[in-house]
Structure 1
């Protein structure tokens, strides 16, 4: 894929991983230990993140396909363009807010705890298994964990208007977040709270840049460029 948005999604994941460490680094580390105290080690984490990124790709393919259907009918043509522009503006505002320009518009505020109640029962069942058996299904499940940056990337994948492009965007984002979570034990020591804050702000600027890139593209549609 030569689409610059895919590369930007990868960078967003890398920078946003500072937020991932604070939000779910400890959770991931804890999932690697079964109730019987058995540790999964590196194999667990590799399988876990394989499952998580696979879920991201599946989400990207689905929303990319949904985005593609918006252009299939002439009656929806004008309405879809307006909707795309409005979503671009929303993404830009969220990105700039996360970067520190606003106090309320912030991707961190989009993390809803409700779905965790649904996940809790499945998590409990998986954790009764040996880590090597639970790793992949846990990753597939936790790929749905509510996260503001994930929502922004899902919107970006939907705007791509193609299942493969949507999947590629989500794959790049997922891979970008993986190194920091894989090395959480080490990264947690050398990444200060201030460092993570600046990484999150950088990720916010990248999200805003993606929104701006799409805004320019979608505005050109109105003029047939």
Structure 2
């Protein structure tokens, strides 16, 4: 499912530009030296990728724990259903029940730390900014975390989030170089396309869990692996 993570990151990065674009535009890049600017951007993206990988590993542990109970297929299906439900659920429900409210203090501290880093130009500034950037709440990151849980392993979860981050790099880098280059009409089209993308990824997870013997999409091996795991656990 790593290809799904890259696609989610690549197309979802249009959303990232809108959410994290202001931070990217404020990066204290060295505009006089292209080589330094490239190194600074690499450092910034490396920080983001590390944080995404850490989050992926943590939620991969959760997925692995659930997998020990023989829920490999069910987890994949549940994650896929959750992705679709989150997208089709009316926005007013989220507005009524603010699920992110407990995170406000934490997010405030992250933003404060980023504000301090933006005023500095130390060698580690860009890496730290990228690392902190990965902690900011983002709907697309939440979707990717669902994928990390469904991957059901520490390394698998880390790699899933890593590839998601890789997918976001091209457009985020373009945004940093060119600024706010998207016109309003294109932005509207992208905003409409992102939910469709998430639903497609959700369907892929459901198909993966069904084990329909479709190569790369719904491999039947998942069923066999689950049966073997259940047999060993009984003994």
Q: What TM-score do you get using the length of structure 2 for normalisation?
A: 0.73
Q: Per the alignment, in what secondary structure is the counterpart of residue 67 of structure 2?
A: coil
Report whether the alignment pairs 1:120 with 2:111. yes
Report whether the alignment pairs 1:158 with 2:149. yes
Deviation at 1:199, TM superposition (A): 2.7
Report whether the alignment pairs 1:48 with 2:40. no
Equivalences for 1:5-154 in 2 at 5 Å? 5-32=1-28, 41-73=37-69, 77=70, 85-95=77-87, 114=104, 115-130=106-121, 132-154=123-145
Deviation at 1:60, TM superposition (A): 0.9
Deviation at 1:116, TM superposition (A): 2.7
Q: 1:94·1:208 contact (CA, 8 Å) conserved in 2?
A: no
The structure whose Rg is larger is 2
Report whether the alignment pairs 1:181 with 2:172. yes
Deviation at 1:96, TM superposition (A): 5.0
For residues 176 and 22 of structure 1, the distance between their equivalents in structure 2, rounded to whole angstroms, comes to: 16
For residues 194 and 132 of structure 1, the distance between their equivalents in structure 2, rounded to whole angstroms, comes to: 39
Give unmatched runs, 5+ long, in structure 1.
none
Q: Per the alignment, in what secondary structure is the counterpart of residue 123 of structure 2?
A: helix
How many residue pairs are counted as aligned between the two chains? 208
Give the root-mean-square deviation of aligned CA atoms: 3.4
Give unmatched runs, 5+ long, in structure 2.
212-221, 228-235
2:217 corresponds to which residue? none
Q: Per the alignment, in what secondary structure is the counterpart of residue 132 of structure 1?
A: coil
